[in-house]
Structure 1
Amino acid sequence: MNDQMKVRFFKEARSEENFVEEMCNFRCQVRSDLEERSRLMSEIARRAPDEAGARYLDTLIDRQKRDEHKLVLLKELLFLARVETHERKLDKLDDN
């Protein structure tokens, strides 16, 4: 997971304006996935309280934990990207 995020980070870092926007979009998508999966987990717990439902819930819980960790990392990367972009803009103003 971290490697995939690093690849995305470096791939998009070439164009700083697009990078911040892309990271915001990706973060929104992860957050949306978390919310959707949470609703699904509630529905499964309500409708399928058997052993098969419990195994599936365990799988979904693991995915939730990974995506929650991913969301924290994205938040940190986005903060750093915004700071870096802002500093570059200030440097350009200083050069003029």
Structure 2
Amino acid sequence: MPANKPNSAHPYDPDTFQDGAFDPDDDAPDLTTPYWTAKFAAARVQRGRPKSAAPKISTTLRLDPEVLEAFKSSGPGWQSRMNEALRKAAGL
């Protein structure tokens, strides 16, 4: 070993942590140790999209085929454009 390189312990050496959470033959840590169980217990679980302040309502609406085709032919986002046209017609 070169003289200028200090002999340091590996940062995940089990002697450093004293909890046996590191196995040098395995890349994955032992997730059942108190350190990891506390981390998992404190973690906030968030699934899916955030809730909207004003969620849309799903409904069934019967439209003329020509009206629907006109909005769909204008490309992606046709539902939002149709919603905006209905809002305008309702004076909102």
Length-normalised TM-score, structure 2 = 0.28
* Greater relative contact order structure (CA < 8 Å, 6+ sep): 1
